[in-house]
Chain A
Amino acid sequence: MKAFTRLFTRLDRTTRTSLKVEALEDYFRAAPPADSAWALWVLSGARVKRSVHTGRLREWVAEAAQIPLWLLEESYDAVGDLAETLALLLPEPPKADRDPPALHQVMDDWILPLRRRSDPEKKELLQEAWDRLEPQERLVFHKLITGGFRVGVGRKLVTRALASVVGMEPAVLAHRTTGRWEPTARDFLLITSPDADLPDPGQPYPFLLANPLENGPAELPGPPECWQVEWKWDGIRGQLILRDGEVLIWSRGEELVTPTFPEVAEGARILPSGTVLDGELLAWKGEGPLPFHQLQRRLGRKRVGRKLLDEVPVTFLAYDLLEQGGEDLREKPLKERRRRLEALFSQRNLESPTKVDPPGESRAGLPLALSPLVRVESWAAAAELRGRSRELRREGLMLKDRESAYGVGRIRGPWWKWKVDPLSLDGVLIYAQRGHGRRASLFTDYTFGVWDGDDLVPVGKAYSGLSDAEIREVDRWIRGHVVDRFGPVRAVEPGLVFELAFDGIRPSSRHRSGVALRFPRMARWRRDKPPSEADTLAGVLGLLQRMERDG
């Protein structure tokens, strides 16, 4: 726990990637496999099931700190991080010779058994742990108990550091650590030994992610012929795996979602074993895709009823072939992978990329289809097509380098997303809440409203889009203009207007306005506009109607 806490502190202290990698390498070089396994597990974002109700945890810490619970909540409000608040509140540990156990012992002896204990036993166990841990170790301990372990390192960075320590290709290691493995010394040694033969058929490949194309395709190297153009679909990214007669669907969040999309899993059986497809899961009916909020009705379900299957059928639109006949194709150029993908689909009488301008919608409704290519003669023609994205319920275009390999993560170069320009409206800041992490003590989470008569009704929440200096300025303004408090939320006077960009708009019964914005973010601070000139609800509803009609 000492070494792991030191790693946490080093990672937490810096924003420099090189120092983070150095800290990770130092840790993995020295740690025993049983500890490394857990470190890799939590740092790559895997969750440990929550073993104690945080409400209980707060009560017990308040009791140990001899303060009333409301004062703990006030403190949490100021600190912004529960694990840290609890660590700061607990009394100093006894000075006796204290030897904190190793990370894997903390997990195996304290955190994992917690789940099965009764409340009084949990309390006793926690007290034992607190007595043996330094304040900073307690913070890490609380992070492990409560889940959320974010220290500004992604899976990619962890993989990179570990790969260099064990002498493996980062891509190979990334593949092996994606998906199913257990945080044990045995599994850790297996995935980090370069020539291990891994039996698990279900591992997805790490996804290649696109970068946004800010200034249009003119900035890309090479003429349009060098680029494969596709629609950017408004669904969720998925990987379809067929190995050993088993069908698995993984989401980009590396969750196994096979039971959520039974029609896709069933339809995919037509493909041979040893096939891995990258593509998009989309709600699709008749002529085209349904709005994203329809697809949302299908998400997160372990079982899907007949009615919902009829109302919101889902299609997997494949756009890449990562494995064929058990062979990893990711090093092959995209044009080769695409050729094989098309051949595979036509061989199986699946949707073939026929005429796609306007996109061939007629074959849609199949549980498995090919994401068509968009053929453009020039970037100007592509721009024109992109302009129609919103009416076709698409997010824009994807531009992929035909010669590129399928890399790992968000690397610049091979894939670009050229999204349609966002919609926008001018909203008034009405509520504010403190942020978390780096901005925990600043008011950074804002709710915006539009006018409904003399009332401001909330239409969306946004967190980002302002510079640090602007955030501080808005924070100061908020503190001077609070009119009401509801727990952590502050209602403020209508005074500041922001232009909000968003990707869509949908009806919502949870919002008093009856609508909710999709992906709202602050495009700019309209210092020039008085609140009275912000947008109205009538205007927003009009926009929604137009979109429903056009879509």
Chain B
Amino acid sequence: MSTDLIRLDPCGLYVPAADIHVDPWRPVERAVITHAHGDHARRGSRQYLTSRRGQGVLRARMGTDARIETLDWGERLRVGDAILSLHPAGHILGSAQVRIEVGGEVWVVSGDYKLTSDPTTTPFEPVGCHVFISECTFGLPVYRWPDPKEVFESILEWWEENAASQRTSVLFGYSLGKAQRLLAGIHERTGRHGAPGPILVHGAVHRLLAPYREAGIALPEVEMANRSSAEQAGGRALVVAPPSAGGTSWIRAFSPSSTAFASGWMRLRGTRRRRGGDRGFVLSDHVDWDGLLNAVEATGAQRVGLTHGNTAAAARYLREDRAIDSWALPTRFQGEAGAETDDPEADDGGDTPRTDDSSPKGGAAT
């Protein structure tokens, strides 16, 4: 891969022509950040480049000292011999794909992305390229997402049932991205029909609401979740909390409760029963199998590199059944699909209790 536009060095994906890293694992001079999740945006680099939409959440994660520059969608920036631009990935607020062009050759790094609808993020835009580096977290054909509309219907039904029997509804979702998507999705529906009760959120979720509101995303009124706000709601509340809050004494304040988990992993019965509490809702911010194949086709790429998840299987399928030269890129956190450590949506790597995103357990590849 010596003549490749992007190569892997000890810090991650490196673009020699621009002397810049994409989502580096360690501090570097200049970093392009696809989105603010802990395993893509690590502290300590001298300079960051991210999308204008993503600036707020990245700032919230990086602190006030970080040097962050931004690009509008599609805005072209020359860096060394390369032209860089950012394009919507549809993963979380401001999440971007990185387009790199050098001497007429184009590579695109997808970051995390999805094709399903989500009011909190700009929809994924396929970008034509020669080489596409795609995430593959859910790269097996058993992962196919249901229509989010139906998922939100069942979330509301569940909440209504619980409220009717005065059982607090506790819904777990990753605190950056998933939680806001849940709130926005619920808001879209309860705005019309009214909500069964108040919405309470965990502190980790609360901290990340401001950048979303500032970006103009419609979110419902919420209160901080604690014993007194729960008691006041008399079992009619919906509590949105990161998965790390499960099993803590904090969560016991809401008893009696029904617990649920919103994640792509809930597609499997095994994980649903192991991690899902009373209910598991299949709602993912990652691309599913069909979406991956569609995205690859839409880019027109003849070479596809895959990271995260069961990359070997998806690469083999693309090679053998789609005649696309495909290979598996080493992922920072080695593991097999479904591993607890690279369980992007089940685990909330670098979330509530940890502020230091370089913690070794940050294997949550979200």
Q: In the complex, are the beta carbons of A78 and B338 less than 8 A apart?
A: yes
B32-68 Cβ-contact flags toward A at 8 Å (1 or 0) = 0000000000000000000000000000000000000
CB contact under 8 A between A14 and B278, given known A74-B310, A78-B338: yes
B119 within 8 A of A: no
Task: Determine which of B140, B278, B321, B340 lies in contact with A74 in the assembled complex, contact meaning CB atoms within 8 Å.
Answer: B140
B278 contacts which chain A residues (CB < 8 A)? Answer: 13-14
A29 within 8 A of B: no
B320 contacts which chain A residues (CB < 8 A)? Answer: 68
Q: In the complex, are the beta carbons of B268 and A438 less than 8 A apart?
A: no
Number of interface residues of B (CB under 8 A): 27
A183 within 8 A of B: no
Query: A139's closest neighbor in chain B, by CB?
Result: B269
Give Cα distance in the complex from A75 to B321, angstroms. 16
A36 within 8 A of B: no
A59 contacts which chain B residues (CB < 8 A)? Answer: none
Q: In the complex, are the beta carbons of A441 and B270 less than 8 A apart?
A: yes
Q: In the complex, are the beta carbons of A479 and B142 less than 8 A apart?
A: no
Q: In the complex, are the beta carbons of B317 and A71 less than 8 A apart?
A: yes
B273 contacts which chain A residues (CB < 8 A)? Answer: 12-13, 437-438
CB contact under 8 A between A480 and B334, given known A68-B321, A74-B140, A74-B313: yes
B140 contacts which chain A residues (CB < 8 A)? Answer: 71, 74-75, 78
Q: In the complex, are the beta carbons of B267 and A88 less than 8 A apart?
A: yes
B81 within 8 A of A: no
A165 contacts which chain B residues (CB < 8 A)? Answer: none
Give Cα distance in the complex from A480 to B336, angstroms. 9
Q: In the complex, are the beta carbons of A438 and B270 less than 8 A apart?
A: yes
A285 contacts which chain B residues (CB < 8 A)? Answer: none
Q: In the complex, are the beta carbons of A88 and B317 less than 8 A apart?
A: no
How far does the Cβ of A437 sit from chain B's closest Cβ, in whole Å?
Answer: 7
Give Cα distance in the complex from A32 to B287, angstroms. 43
CB contact under 8 A between A78 and B339, given known A68-B321, A480-B334: no
A472 within 8 A of B: yes
Q: In the complex, are the beta carbons of A475 and B339 less than 8 A apart?
A: yes
How far does the Cβ of A188 sit from chain B's closest Cβ, in whole Å?
Answer: 29
A2-30 Cβ-contact flags toward B at 8 Å (1 or 0) = 00000000001110000000000000000
B76 within 8 A of A: no
Q: In the complex, are the beta carbons of B270 and A475 less than 8 A apart?
A: no
Give Cα distance in the complex from A13 to B276, angstroms. 9
Give Cα distance in the complex from A12 to B338, angstroms. 20
Q: In the complex, are the beta carbons of B317 and A441 less than 8 A apart?
A: no
CB contact under 8 A between A75 and B271, given known A475-B340, A476-B340: no
B279 within 8 A of A: yes
Most B CB within 10 A of own CB, among A65, A74, A80, A439: A74
A84 within 8 A of B: yes
Task: Determine which of A68, A437, A472, A479 lies in contact with B270 in the assembled complex, contact meaning CB atoms within 8 Å.
Answer: A437
A125-145 Cβ-contact flags toward B at 8 Å (1 or 0) = 000000000000001000000
A88 contacts which chain B residues (CB < 8 A)? Answer: 141-142, 144, 267-268
A479 contacts which chain B residues (CB < 8 A)? Answer: 334-336, 339, 341
Give Cα distance in the complex from A70 to B315, angstroms. 13
Q: In the complex, are the beta carbons of A441 and B338 less than 8 A apart?
A: yes
- The residues of A with any CB-CB pair to B shorter than 8 Å are 12-14, 65, 67-68, 70-71, 74-75, 78-81, 84-85, 88-89, 139, 437-442, 472, 475-476, 479-480
18 extra interchain contacts, Cβ-Cβ under 8 A, other than A78-B140, A78-B310?
A: A14-B278, A68-B317, A70-B316, A71-B313, A74-B140, A78-B337, A78-B338, A80-B270, A139-B269, A438-B270, A439-B270, A440-B270, A441-B270, A442-B340, A476-B339, A476-B340, A479-B335, A479-B341
